[in-house]
Chains A and B, each alone.
Chain A
């Protein structure tokens, strides 16, 4: 917490740099920006605990103004926490150490739509759905459909390496980006190379993508876009258990059938989430398959995939269920359908190769349900982002009646995350596939990277010598790098 005298000094400079209308120390603003969408932030406020708050909130309107804010922060040695939509689940935008919270949402313009190269260049603070609506007006789409599209920003997509429901075919955010503009901690504005595929040195682009605001502020991005497909075909297939369904998914991927959606719900998830949200009364492992593009090609790909499923004992539930899922794919995230307080929950997802996935799933399920049996911990999972070499497991723990005390609850939450993350690492997984690290998993970054961790630290030290950018995130030390 800054002394009021210090705040006045900093605010004066910020007012001069970006205009007083865009600088706030209002108590109501500080409270609302205290919590991002992470369960950890939420439980603290839910249990009436005073949160850590930003001292000042700024709404700069350009990369140049962001540069000025970073220079002011650097002069005063103040933390800067970039904020896009605040929709991250890992505490990446939580202002843990006060300072300046930098909301990017005024940078919301679409700068260029290139229909010849099929790219869009936009400012990073634009809300995903706003960008999508504008593209849809021209029959185009950014094929990145995360559940957070209504609230997350383009910059947030990239800062946390997000993925969406059709990323199996079109790639994650980091695969869709061609070029970005970044304001680095010194306040300088830099651009990465105009195209992502080259042999012109290491990828500066991919250094900033996924850096969660610890190396700079992404202010602009050029993304790959597509024409809206002629058809989207959906289907639900039911397997009695998980193993043959996973094998079906693997075969579909290695046979390059290009599904846009492959969402496999484990039996626990089928019995709970699909029943509660979609009203489906089925038992087993429900596999939603989607194919898009030209009608004759999508139909042929779908037919081949259904043959694979049939060979492995999958029962075709038809098109209606698949379409129903597509139409309601975001319903899972609306209250009261979504997992929410007072429950404790966490998405401990990861990604690994096909070789490891079954053992990883079984181990995490066992660890969460046995080690935390005292709290009645349940484990549910679905497999929703597939690669030619493996699959992402979107697995969650749920505790219906967690400790009432906020500190005790947070400790239990951390303990479950640590146990499940270490299980992921032990089976060839990583800490996270598309939600990011934030502060939730930061402490485990040295374990993930091993001898490579000092290299990341050195990069952080070089780019942000005063260590002002988003302290406490990605595992970087708070005070001195």
Chain B
């Protein structure tokens, strides 16, 4: 039995991670829990389930957030196992119709917004700011804010993957040929830029570059530094390279999708916010148990109702702390949360920090 099959055999009767699954937390349904998905796959292997619309739909409800694996004592890669099954369904023409439609757009446009993503000329620089599709098309103001912050700190960089998906969506939906092509394009672009450092805007991008690309057979060079913008900004503030004005604000910080996979990742954004005087309240679902707001696993595009409920759950958690502002840094999470925000302001971290740049410093 291959590793992927072994994982679903192991997980089909294990319930030890159900408490952290953000999907189960919203649905309260065993069929949409790590154990439920594993049992579904194991039952299909035994001929007890056929991959009809019902079963395929259930399989595409996993958020691929990694919390089950993070909290597994034996590190079972269930998300990868489910993605592998999705890939088989894609190959067999059994995936959701919405997945095929997304694939067509990703192949043609490099993004799902049917907008040209190849307009920016390549410029050589020691660093690349990986923009991607979500930030460019949904939160362009955050990209501009990120650039202002980097410019102010005096960093030289070029933009990469402008408006183009870096490959995560295709990977998680099981569109591995498409994901491979997007990864290949990104790798070639980074090579052309000559970057020794890639700055990414979200933990999901970081996860894609360090975890997904090698699995697609497109690893980035080992000597290429990959750093999240939030971590970089924290360093710049700590070393005095970036000065920010204080701010009076009570808020809660939401750790975006894939953040729990990265141990210790939650320190930098909190440190940054505290450094400018933000009084932080904390949700119960934070750091290593932070729930995906429905932005991972392709949920916004294949399971929009579920994705919206997950976002609403995060906002409800935030409001329960008594604050009226939620701050997050991943552009895709920011954009998604804003679609359901009601009764609470959702702010982007980069935009917030850029507003606090001292006027004498601001690079225009």
A interface residue numbers (CB < 8 A to B): 24, 26-29, 31-33, 35, 37, 42, 45-46, 48, 50, 57, 59, 83, 85-87, 103, 105-106, 108, 125, 127, 129-130, 133-134, 137, 148, 150-151, 328, 330-331, 333-338, 340-341
Q: Taking the complex as formed, is B19 at the interface, i.e. its CB lies under 8 A from any CB of chain A?
A: yes
A368 CB, min distance to chain B CBs, angstroms: 23
Closest to A22 in B: B28
- Count B-side interface residues using an 8 Å CB cutoff: 33
Q: Are A150 and B73 in contact (CB under 8 A)?
A: no
Q: Are B19 and A129 in contact (CB under 8 A)?
A: yes
Distance between Cα atoms of A148 and B14 in the complex (Å): 10
Distance between Cα atoms of A335 and B42 in the complex (Å): 15
Which A residues are in CB contact (< 8 Å) with B28? 59, 103, 105-106, 108, 125
Which B residues are in CB contact (< 8 Å) with A108? 28
Which A residues are in CB contact (< 8 Å) with B18? 85, 127, 150-151
Q: Taking the complex as formed, is B58 at the interface, i.e. its CB lies under 8 A from any CB of chain A?
A: yes
Q: Are A50 and B29 in contact (CB under 8 A)?
A: no
B359 CB, min distance to chain A CBs, angstroms: 40
User: What would be 29 A-B contacts, judged by CB atoms less than 8 Å apart?
Assistant: A26-B54, A26-B58, A28-B58, A29-B29, A29-B30, A31-B49, A32-B30, A32-B35, A32-B36, A32-B40, A33-B30, A45-B42, A45-B48, A46-B46, A48-B47, A50-B48, A86-B30, A103-B30, A127-B18, A133-B284, A148-B15, A151-B16, A328-B73, A334-B72, A334-B73, A334-B74, A336-B74, A337-B74, A338-B14
Q: Are A335 and B19 in contact (CB under 8 A)?
A: no
A435 CB, min distance to chain B CBs, angstroms: 15
Which A residues are in CB contact (< 8 Å) with B10? 335-336, 340
Q: Are B15 and A28 in contact (CB under 8 A)?
A: no
Which B residues are in CB contact (< 8 Å) with A331? 73
Distance between Cα atoms of A59 and B33 in the complex (Å): 15
A409 CB, min distance to chain B CBs, angstroms: 15
B interface residue numbers (CB < 8 A to A): 10-11, 13-19, 28-31, 35-36, 39-40, 42-43, 46-49, 52, 54-55, 58, 72-74, 76, 284, 289
Contact status of A134 and B284, CB under 8 A, knowing A48-B48, A336-B74, A340-B13: yes
Q: Are A341 and B16 in contact (CB under 8 A)?
A: no
Q: Are A28 and B55 in contact (CB under 8 A)?
A: yes
B277 CB, min distance to chain A CBs, angstroms: 24
Q: Are B284 and A45 in contact (CB under 8 A)?
A: no
Distance between Cα atoms of A103 and B48 in the complex (Å): 23
Distance between Cα atoms of A134 and B282 in the complex (Å): 12
Closest to A38 in B: B13
Which A residues are in CB contact (< 8 Å) with B54? 26-28
Q: Are B40 and A335 in contact (CB under 8 A)?
A: no
**Contacting residue for B49 out of A28, A127, A337, A338, CB 8 A:** A28
Which B residues are in CB contact (< 8 Å) with A50? 48
Which B residues are in CB contact (< 8 Å) with A133? 284, 289
Which A residues are in CB contact (< 8 Å) with B52? 27
Distance between Cα atoms of A87 and B13 in the complex (Å): 9
A327 CB, min distance to chain B CBs, angstroms: 11
Which B residues are in CB contact (< 8 Å) with A334? 14, 16, 72-74
Distance between Cα atoms of A97 and B245 in the complex (Å): 67
Q: Are B14 and A341 in contact (CB under 8 A)?
A: no
Distance between Cα atoms of A137 and B284 in the complex (Å): 8
Contact status of A333 and B47, CB under 8 A, knowing A28-B40, A31-B40, A134-B284: no
A146 CB, min distance to chain B CBs, angstroms: 12
Q: Are B11 and A31 in contact (CB under 8 A)?
A: no
Which B residues are in CB contact (< 8 Å) with A335? 10-11, 13-14, 74, 76
Which A residues are in CB contact (< 8 Å) with B15? 37, 85-87, 148, 150-151
**Contacting residue for B31 out of A32, A45, A137, A328, CB 8 A:** A32
Closest to A337 in B: B74
Which B residues are in CB contact (< 8 Å) with A33? 30-31
Q: Are B43 and A45 in contact (CB under 8 A)?
A: yes
Contact status of A31 and B48, CB under 8 A, knowing A150-B17, A151-B19, A333-B16: yes
Which A residues are in CB contact (< 8 Å) with B16? 150-151, 330, 333-334
A60 CB, min distance to chain B CBs, angstroms: 10
Closest to A41 in B: B13
**Contacting residue for B73 out of A86, A134, A148, A337, CB 8 A:** A337
User: 14 more A-B contacts (CB under 8 A) besides A151-B18, A151-B19, A333-B16?
Assistant: A28-B40, A28-B58, A32-B36, A32-B40, A35-B39, A45-B43, A48-B48, A86-B15, A86-B30, A333-B14, A335-B14, A335-B76, A338-B14, A340-B13
Distance between Cα atoms of A280 and B40 in the complex (Å): 36
